[in-house]
Chain A
Amino acid sequence: MAIVASVPILVILVLMIGFRWGAARAGAAGYLAAFFIAVVFFGAGADVLAFAHTKAFLLTIDVLFIIWAAFLMYSVAEEAGAIKTIGRLLPALTRDRGMQALLIGWVFASFLQGAGGFGVPVAVTAPILISLGFTPLSAVLIPSIGHGWAVTFGSMGSSFNAMLSATGLSASSLAPESALFLGLACVLTGPMVAHAADGWNGVKRLLLPALVLGVVMGAVQLAIAAGAGLWNLGAFMGGLAGLAVSVWVVRWGGPGKGVERSERKPLMLALSAYIVLIVFTVVFLLIPPIKNWLDQAFIQIQFPETVTALGYISPAGVNRPIHIFTHAGAILVYTSLVSYFIYHRAGMYLPGAGKCILRMTVKSMMSSSLSIALMVSMATVMQECGMTEALAQGLAGAVGMGFPLIAPWIGGIGAFMTGSNTNSNVVFAGLQKRTAELLSYSVPTVLAGQTAGAALASVTAPAKVVVGTSTAGMDGKEGEVLRVLVGYTGLLVMFTSLLTGLAIFFGM
């Protein structure tokens, strides 16, 4: 049964990697395969499938709310020229090319991943790096390696939120180890970016600033996501802290001309959207009377127990509540509206910018929304009719003790084939959780390995590589980028695999 249960996942894998299908189309094929197998081999009846689809829809809303709102906010800032302003002024901080690579391709790219994501870090920073004299290959490689650690808690935590929804576990139980693994990967990422920019010479020369920046960004992400419980701001605050510390650290490589006085006002205006986001997040999530009052509006549905013809029972219960007004997506919508007003008042928009922002958001998000909806439906159907259970039992029997070491690789392959950390968590988090339970391993540790592996490997997803090559004028040379990129990300996933193994076997 485990082999039959693996067919939908294999269908997606083969179609995306072997036949280069897009995520939406491959997701549709995977979904149809899961539906057919659920009915024919796992005895799923109409009620099992119906409730599975409603659960999938709620999970999809939970995930898409953040993704749509984060892209809306990015579009508000992009249309006002705010992203360009920040990117234009950063290189003025240092003359050292290696330091510029760290600052723009790692720290700024991570900040962009924290705030937006969706391929934006590479799309925005690759052209800046080329203008500074980097080769197109380096210009794509550097930010691709640089922002992987920030993916799970980036895009306002959409990938982490997907893992919460898919497993039904709390943020407080999953955030600490996930943020720790990704923070340690961040520390390792700095020297790798230095290597990609300037070889071993760059690693030796930039080791200290890279370590300082890596520790600061990783520690701030850990403190915000796990300590303060603001997982939607983890990578964003980590990137912001990195930018703040960069102003001081870049001087070790020889200061640049600095940001001129006349440029300070445009810079502050450009950053205003992100300042509003921090303020709103703190006000709406950390002030109990406000949060409690707003938390009264939520979507939560009671589902009855369902049983398949083979006797697999899905117990009665409720979905994870979707708090309409304090959801990370809602906070992004408030921020987008206020930021639009600020930029509009400052005269940063051309006529018709509002319509342009909405059109760009809807057009850009539809295809990925559909792929998420289909993959969520596939994963939920598999979960509700016992396919995930069969797959988990098969996996536990096949790899046994070695499971913690391969968990991050499963997440990584999932991200590579589905194009995102979010999709990987949707498809594999339930399976990883159940396999860990069957083997009596720590579920949060295994899921930390899952999401860290997925985040780090997501940068190698063909869809993301294409974004990078197209903005760097390397169309058709995706294979060349991928060959080098896989080496760096493979090392990072291997590192995560070791961390997961150490944490499980030695309780570290």
Chain B
Amino acid sequence: MLKTKFKRHTTAFLIIALASIFLYPVAQSGLITFTWSLLGLVILAALLVLTTK
């Protein structure tokens, strides 16, 4: 599915952007589990970049 470097980078970038946007209202509402889930998504995106040579 994410065969090229460009696709993997684009996917990672979009995940980081969307998660960062939603983190604000989620954290303000005090939804701790959701907050950690979104932070986990950002970490997954970073891991995706890390494993892309």
Contacts and interface: CB of A to CB of B under 8 A. Distances in A.
Interface of A: 24-25, 27-29, 31-32, 35, 46-47, 49-51, 53-54, 56-57, 60, 301, 304, 363, 366-367, 369-370, 373-374, 377
A398 B32 CA distance: 39
B50 A28 contact: yes
B13 A373 contact: yes
B49 A28 contact: yes
B50 A29 contact: yes
Contacts of B39: 35, 46, 49-50, 53
Contacts of B53: 25
Contacts of B6: 363, 366-367
Which of A29, A57, A301 counts the most B-chain CB atoms under 10 A from its CB?
A: A57
Contacts of B9: 24, 366-367, 370
Given A25-B50, A304-B28, A377-B42, A50 B10 contact: no
A369 B13 contact: yes
Interface residues on B, range: 20 to 34
A130 to B, nearest CB: 30
A374 B49 contact: yes
Contacts of B50: 25, 28-29, 32
Interface string B18-31: 01110110111000
A51 B46 contact: no
A374 B17 CA distance: 11
A83 B16 CA distance: 35
A50 B16 contact: no
A299 to B, nearest CB: 11
B35 A50 contact: yes
A370 to B, nearest CB: 5
Contacts of A28: 46-47, 49-50
Contacts of A377: 16, 20, 42
A51 B38 CA distance: 12
B12 to A, nearest CB: 6
A369 B23 CA distance: 20
B36 A370 contact: no
A462 B50 CA distance: 19
Contacts of B5: 367
Contacts of B21: 54, 57
A56 B36 CA distance: 17
A478 B15 CA distance: 35
Nearest to B53: A25
A7 to B, nearest CB: 16
A331 B28 CA distance: 34
